[in-house]
Amino acid sequence: MSVTAAVREELAHVEQGRDCCVRAELSALLRLGGSVTLSERGIGYTFETSTGAVVRRARIALDRIHGVRRDDRVEEWIEVHAPGGLHAATRYRLRLAGAVAPVLTDLGLLNRTGRPVDGIAPRLSRRRCDAIASVRGALMAAGSVTDPEGAPHLEIRAAGKATATTLAQLLVRCGGAGARAALKDGQWRVVVKSGEAAGAVLATAGAHTAFLRWDAARLRRELRGEANRAANADRANLARAVSASARQVAAIQQALATLDWEQLAPEMRDAALARLANPEASLAEVGGLLEPPVGKATVHRRLARLASLAEQSAPAGGSRLR
């Protein structure tokens, strides 16, 4: 099961709270998971999902808040479509027909004149519990969570700018720091790119088990990345040290061939001999071998001075230090 499917399945089994929370969740669920339809029979609604538990939750909420099953004026039915075509999974459709306008108006999908509107009604998400319920409904309807082995982020598709903008604000209230609405490829989306913030949204919405598994995988990925970066840095530092040591040894060998060794300063000769005897040692280690011991900066200056003298003397065929 994918991370997204696991999140939706778990959220669909979160205990439903007060009526205000159920209404807020249902509004977001229907807003992002379906569409209002118009036909010769009048206004209708179609909700579609690949998670059976989600469509059952929507049906239960509709009956709890609006008594849909007991209202003879409202027609309600579920269609099940087997995998095929563009869909690799079973699809469930919840359809509403008949006197559904009052239901859709109460949930903020229609205005008082019966026209479809974009956005999530502010009256349905003022309290924190309602904001959390709205985010839960949005995640069940149109949320997706990337595999934490890749770049972790959370995304929710939205039909319009107003819905996306309001949803981004709700996500921030639920721990999704940095959530933003963006239009990409003609589709409005709300994105949380921080793995930590995405995890906070999942946990707040109620997907605790999915969050723990997802966050553990995310942390493993980050630790592997840090270990790889450290290993790469160590290899790069070692390569630089080996390269620097090789240059120093070559400079010392040139100095031996072109300079009067006995006329070099004693501390310069000592540093050069210590480096020749310990080509793999660090400058700090070479400095520790000298008497008295010196720091790596001092060793570096002495060897650099020796290399400069050797380079200056090479064209002259062995000029001596005076």
Q: What does the pLDDT average to over 304-311?
A: 81
- List the domains of the chain with CATH numbers: 3-206 (3.10.28.10), 222-313 (no CATH)
Phi, psi of 180 (to 5 degrees): -145, 150
**Rounded to whole angstroms, how far apart are CA atoms 207 and 26?**
17
Give the model's pLDDT for residue 321. Answer: 35
CB 260 within 8 A of CB 321: yes
Which pLDDT band holds residue 141 (cuts at 50, 70, 90)? very high
Give the model's pLDDT for residue 60. Answer: 93
Give the model's pLDDT for residue 230. Answer: 75
Give the model's pLDDT for residue 319. Answer: 39
**Rounded to whole angstroms, how far apart are CA atoms 243 and 235?**
12
HSE at residue 51, side-chain half, CA atoms within 13 A, is 26
Which pLDDT band holds residue 205 (cuts at 50, 70, 90)? very high
Give the model's pLDDT for residue 303. Answer: 83
Give the model's pLDDT for residue 315. Answer: 57
Give the model's pLDDT for residue 317. Answer: 46
Which pLDDT band holds residue 15 (cuts at 50, 70, 90)? very high
Give the model's pLDDT for residue 89. Answer: 80
Q: What does the pLDDT average to over 161-170?
A: 95
Write the pLDDT tens digit of every residue in 42-64.
899 999 999 999 999 999 999 99
- Mean pLDDT of all residues in the chain? 85
For residues 224 and 307, the model is more confident at: 307
The three-class DSSP label of residue 71 is coil
- List all residues 6 or more positions away from 205 whose beta carbon is below 8 Å from its beta carbon: 11, 14, 132, 135, 136, 139, 174
Sheet of strand 187-192: strand arrangement: 143-145, 154-158, 187-192, 180-184
pTM for this prediction: 0.69
